[in-house]
Amino acid sequence: MIDALAAEWLKLRTLRSTSLVLGVVGVVVGLMALLAWYAAHLWDGLPPGQRDRLEVSSLPELTNWLASLCLAVLGVLAFSGEYGTGMIRTTFTVLPSRGRVLAAKAGVVAVAAFCAGLAAVLATYAVGRLIIGDRLIRGQSTEALSRQLPLFLAMSLSIAMFALLGLCLAAITRSAVAAVAVLMAVWYVVPIIVNNIPAPWNERIGSILPGALAGQLAGTGNPQSVGGALLSPPAALAVMVAWVAVPYAAAAVLLARRDA
């Protein structure tokens, strides 16, 4: 298993799409810095009495939201790229145990996504604090990093969950297009639809959507999100695990059964 992990790590590192996706995550952080600068500029221009009317979405949360999609795409490409080129047959000749290949890919993608996600969220927090400084802009937390760290770690876990979901969807569908389409639905389309169904089902279903889990896991709720917040942290963690375990099991069964 160590050999398979090391091999998959080498593969992920030497894949062109990996650096591309990580570059996009960097661009997202840059955009957040730009947004922070713009918000600070607006805030400075407002008369003091009107400043509390300016509200800007939490920047780390925006980064979390966008990085989830980016790293889910990284997960997709870690598998679909091999199906597209026929390289999957080379992989299974080099590592004949398909369960081991899936586990190794999942391991390296999860670690890479967690680290990249954490780095992006922390960087966003840091540049946000640096630019906004002591301005009290609604939506921006002024709490110290130590108080926010649980939320940032929960966000990174959520990003890793999205990446694994992407990986498993690619293994199941063997197609980047199909896998990304399903991801887009789960990430963007379904939350909007769920938000518009009658109560109490909007909140009930909204609470178990993958994008709503980080806030519930950290116990901060989802004040700015369309997702619900009915789950306790342990329940949120369990739902998070389920979002990975179910597609993972399906991918493992299909990989073992299908001809490569």
Partner 1 sequence: MIEVRELTKRFGRTVAVDGLTFHVKPGLVTGFLGPNGAGKSTTMRIILGLDRPASGEALVGGRRYDRLRHPMREVGALLDAGAVQGGRTPLGHLSWMARANRIGGDRVVSVIEQVGLAGVARKRIGGFSLGMRQRLGIAAALLGDPGVLLLDEPVNGLDPDGVRWIRELLRGLAAEGRTVLLSSHLMSEMELTADHLVIIGRGRLIADTPMRELTAVRDVFVRSSRAGDLAAALSAAGGTVTAENGGGLSVRGLDPAEIGDLAARHAIPLHEVTPRGASLEETYMRLTAELTGGGADR
Minimum CB distance to partner 1, residue 78 (Å): 11
Of 256, 71, 252, residue with least CA distance to 164: 71
Rounded least distance, CB 28 to partner 1, Å:
22
Helix (H) or strand (E) holding 139: none
Query: Which two three-digit tokens encode residue 258?
Result: 């299908």
Position 4 contacts partner 1 (CB under 8 A): yes
Q: How far apart are CA 184 and CA 230, in angstroms?
A: 24
8 Å CB contact between 22 and 109:
no
Does 53 bind partner 1 (CB under 8 A)? Our answer is: no
- Determine if 1 is a binding residue for partner 1 (CB under 8 A): no
Q: Are 61 and 152 in contact (CB under 8 A)?
A: no
Task: Calculate the alpha carbon distances from 54 to 29, 51, 128, 131 in Å.
Answer: 22, 6, 16, 16
Please tell me whether residue 97 binds partner 1 under the rule CB under 8 A: yes
Q: Does 253 bind partner 1 (CB under 8 A)?
A: no
105 binds partner 1 (CB under 8 A): no
Positions 13 through 32 that interact with partner 1 (CB under 8 A): 14-17
Binders of partner 1 among residues 73 to 92 (CB under 8 A) are 81-82, 85-87, 89-90, 92
- Between 61 and 82, name the residue whose CB sits nearer to partner 1: 82
Q: How far apart are CA 143 and CA 162, in angstroms?
A: 27
Least Cβ distance, residue 14 to partner 1 (angstroms)? 4
List of residues contacting partner 1 (CB under 8 A): 3-4, 6-8, 10-11, 14-17, 81-82, 85-87, 89-90, 92-97, 259-260
